[in-house]
Chains A and B, each alone.
Chain A
Amino acid sequence: MKVKALKSIFASFTALALATSLVGCQSTASSDKQSEETADKTTGHRTLKVEVFDRGKPGQPDLNNNYWTKYINETFGKKYNATVEFVPVPRTQEVDKLNVLMAAGEAPDIVFTYNQGTVYNYVQQGGLADLGPALKEHGSDLTNYLGDDLLKYGKFDDKQFAIPGKRTVLLGMNTFIRKDWLDKLSLPVPTTPEEFYETMEAFKEKNPGNVTGVIPFGYALQPAYPGIGNIPDAFKPSDLSKKEFATLQTSPGYQANWNLPGFKEGIEYVNKMYNDGLISPSFATDKDAKQLDADISNGKVGAFITNWDGPYRTAPGTLTNLKNNVPGADLIPIDPWKNDAGKTPKAGYSPNGMFILVPKASKNVDLAVQYLNWMADPEVTLFLQNGEEGVDYNMVDGVPVQTGTTNEGEKMMTVANNLDYDILSNGIELGDKEKNVAAVSAGYPGFEEEVQNALKVGSVDYYAPYYFSTPNSADAKYNTSLKDFSAQMLAKLISAKPSEVDSLYKTLVDQYMGQGGKAVYDEYVKNYNAQNKK
């Protein structure tokens, strides 16, 4: 608690100081840079500073001097008479550190963040370079690679202040169930919410795993992501208008959208499960889902909703643990949240990855765009994500299969497919959707087929969040407090008596709207109307 409080104080101080200092220090920064430039005018050689995430991976090489940085300098650097220098920024503190660097005019020429609010703040304070002109002059490959559909995510006030990376895996959540339990009870895979409920009741009554404290439906209420997974999609009317969708489902799909039609029915569904003893009893205190991970690993949980690839990930490695703890256990992704039109819609990510920015103080806007343009070349992407063919990977059916050389030493990738250097793509990029699917699953050793299946199940009726061309300033202001309140609301509503849910829902949503929810909603409506006026 204390750390959290400190963190928020820290963050607000940063923001406050940023506002006052951003403009002031630019002048000194640019004068420094100018003197550097004049010194190099004779040769025309330039230095491009690029941010790189430091994930602190044990054994990682020098992030500014390794196989990958040498490749970048030998190819891009030679061609453009430039040295590319990498500035490590700790992954877990990236926003704080970026704020400091930006405020002091010390930021590298290319910086990035996933945090849209941070980008929006910089835009408001005039801290970012408009990349439009440079993109037109030097960025033809880049523009072709991203297309207008992606570039629009980097436009603010009609100016290209950010280059959005491309996300290749857009899936959100999947529902998983114990296959061996279904088999033992000779039950079919549930395909509707009703069937799912009956299956959960059967799991509780018959306890097919023969465990103490069986938890048919594992659930953890994580305040950072307060929601009930894909469940509300089963109750959301399929004939929602575009405007309703845009203005009512504004939180990411897996988080609470209190005014979205069907959300209340979703809550009632979970509430009923709670009162019938079907969900994790300690769901409200399991804030980091560690208890849930333990329960799944120990074979107590029948079904749960998590990231589309959750059980297959190396860490925490729940499926591997489960198989070790309970021989014969297996988990499969299922798709039970069928709506009134017989579809199973699943909210996912929008197609943009991180926001790549160039600070206004940078004297290398053109070079920065040239760098990104160079990176958009499929050959460069392939090399940065996989290494050298025949050495670091072999092509099998058009999909690169790693040989293991990039797990250690100078070639170590601190994250799969080197996303920290190949900042343009979030996820493997082979320029072809099907190849990408095959390649993604290669990143889960031992679970390749399962992951292909999870990708298939999770993509059924996928939908992206609505794209707004104007950021919501009320949301930026209230997001944190409303999220906290959402978590409290979920805890109260899920553990309430079924007869009280209806009135409690109304009271709590009224409070939610009073605490900023209304301002956020009104601004979404205003932005939507402005955007669709033409």
Chain B
Amino acid sequence: MSQKLRNRVFDYSAAFIVLIAVFICLVPFLYVLSASLSSNRAIISQLVTIYPIDFNIEAYKVVFGDGGMLYSLFFTVILVLIYAVLALSVTVLAAYALSRKRVKGRKIIMLVMVFTMYFSGGLIPDYMLIKDLHLLNTPYALVLPSLMSVFNMIILKSFFENLPESLEEAAYLDGCNDLQILLKIMLPLSKPALATIALLYAVFRWNYFQDALFYITDENLYTIQLKLYNVINISQQMAGENINLNIPSEALKAASIMFGTIPILLVYPWLQKYFVSGITIGATKG
């Protein structure tokens, strides 16, 4: 077998395996999509696989006709944007400072931060803290407590550490102060990393609902995921209720899931170019 042929065989088999992997990832998504467009009869009878049976869009009419759902979606989009910007800023400031070797006490600061990755106060102390800070039932409760992820900060810190120190020195000699170095030199070089971290934050905020569940009782501050959680998890088997409850149909649940998932999916293609370069950027460095 010639080298060329061998390469081609390798390419095709790799592509084949990747295709299978892609398909496996897509099947659950396709299932929910087709369920949302199928009749309840077909879903319960397990006739639906990856294409709709008894095609109809009734479920979407209900979801889009639900003002509360649309409102929550809009609210969550705004919340995600604000949160991602704030979280990214705080993370950059912490990560950049901690990546500079001349900062004194940075090991101790790191230790304190890492500690919070392993230990936390628990649900009720958290709740009481939020309550005593008078953040209950405010949008701040959905932003401030999770403003910085130590994990993301460490990723970004390692990234900053890999940028050549000579850049910083050169900027110094040209008269930049620390903030200018960060804004004008470091950040433009870190776009892929920043995009990745921003996306991680945005997806986290989009998907996380426990804080809304516990800190919020005002329906105007419900996030889309909390709404989804309520719709999807309700079942006929709720303890103590042995009558016809008229719960949402399976198609409606599926349509709600699609409604809550597609907006965040749309962000991915837009950021994809950063992702690709984000992955390869460190490849040739030793």
Hey, which bits of chain A sit against chain B, CB under 8 A? 10, 13-14, 16-18, 21, 25, 54-60, 62-64, 87-93, 96-97, 99-100, 103-104, 106, 114-115, 169, 171-172, 224-225, 290-291, 293-294, 297-298, 307-309, 312-318, 320-321, 324-325, 349, 353-354, 415-416, 419, 426-427, 440, 443-444
Contact = CB atoms under 8 A, between A and B. Distances in A.
Interface string B239-273: 11111111111101000100000000000000000
A100 B130 CA distance: 12
A308 B219 contact: no
A58 B44 contact: no
Interface stretch (B65-73, B140-148, B166-174, B186-194): B65-73
Given A307-B242, A416-B243, 4 more contacts: A114-B240, A298-B45, A324-B41, A415-B245
- From B62, B219, B244, name the one whose CB has the most chain A CB atoms within 10 angstroms: B244
21 contacts: A10-B123, A13-B122, A14-B123, A25-B128, A55-B230, A62-B219, A88-B219, A90-B226, A114-B239, A114-B241, A298-B46, A307-B242, A315-B246, A315-B248, A315-B249, A317-B40, A415-B241, A415-B245, A415-B246, A416-B244, A419-B241
Contact of B136 (A106, A298, A314): A106
Given A58-B256, A64-B219, A97-B214, A443 B243 contact: yes
B231 interface: yes
Interface residues of B, number: 49
Interface in B52-86: 62-63, 65-69
Contacts of A349: 242
B231 A56 contact: yes
B50 interface: no
B244 to A, nearest CB: 5
A457 B63 CA distance: 39
B276 interface: no
A21 B244 contact: no
What are the 9 tightest A-B residue pairs by CB atom distance, in nearest-first order? Answer: A56-B230, A114-B240, A17-B124, A294-B46, A92-B233, A297-B45, A321-B41, A56-B231, A58-B66
Given A59-B62, A87-B217, A316-B44, A443 B124 contact: no
A103 B127 contact: yes
B69 A58 contact: yes
Contacts of B136: 106
A92 B234 contact: yes
Nearest to A310: B236
A278 to B, nearest CB: 22
Interface in B103-127: 122-125, 127
A114 B65 CA distance: 32
A56 B66 contact: no
Contacts of B65: 59
Contact of B244 (A10, A17, A104, A312): A312
Contacts of B31: none
Contacts of B213: 90, 93, 96-97
B236 to A, nearest CB: 6
B210 to A, nearest CB: 9
- From A63, A171, A293, A321, name the one whose CB has the most chain B CB atoms within 10 angstroms: A321
A169 to B, nearest CB: 6
B237 A224 contact: yes
A354 B242 contact: no
Contact of A315 (B45, B63, B214, B250): B250
Nearest to B240: A114
- From A58, A114, A224, A309, name the one whose CB has the most chain B CB atoms within 10 angstroms: A58
B73 to A, nearest CB: 13
Contacts, number: 161
Contacts of A291: 46
- From B65, B227, B231, B242, name the one whose CB has the most chain A CB atoms within 10 angstroms: B242
B229 interface: yes
A100 B124 contact: yes
Given A312-B244, A317-B44, A416-B244, A55 B234 contact: yes
Contacts of A59: 62, 65-68
A431 B239 CA distance: 24
Contacts of B8: none
B128 A353 contact: no
Contacts of A415: 241, 245-246
Nearest to A408: B65
Contacts of A290: 46
Contacts of A62: 219
Nearest to A90: B230
A104 B131 contact: yes
- From A25, A64, A415, A426, name the one whose CB has the most chain B CB atoms within 10 angstroms: A415
A106 B66 contact: no
Contacts of B69: 58
Nearest to B252: A58
Contacts of B183: none
Nearest to B120: A13
Contacts of B238: 91-92
A314 B236 CA distance: 10
Contacts of B123: 10, 13-14, 17, 100
A54 to B, nearest CB: 6
B121 to A, nearest CB: 9
Contacts of A89: 217
B91 to A, nearest CB: 26
Contacts of B62: 58-59
B251 to A, nearest CB: 10
A297 B122 contact: no
- From B62, B124, B233, B252, name the one whose CB has the most chain A CB atoms within 10 angstroms: B124
Given A58-B62, A315-B248, A103 B124 contact: yes
B148 to A, nearest CB: 23
B236 A313 contact: yes
Interface in B207-228: 213-214, 217, 219, 226-228
A56 B233 CA distance: 9
A479 to B, nearest CB: 13
A25 B132 CA distance: 11
A349 B239 CA distance: 11
Contacts of A104: 124, 127-128, 131
Interface in B18-50: 40-41, 44-46
A37 B123 CA distance: 30
B245 to A, nearest CB: 5
A321 B45 contact: yes
Contacts of B252: 58
Contacts of B124: 14, 17-18, 21, 99-100, 103-104
A100 B246 CA distance: 29
B45 A309 contact: no
Nearest to A62: B219
Contacts of A60: 68
A51 to B, nearest CB: 10
A104 B237 CA distance: 30
Contacts of B249: 314-315, 317
Nearest to A353: B240
Nearest to B233: A92
B240 A426 contact: yes
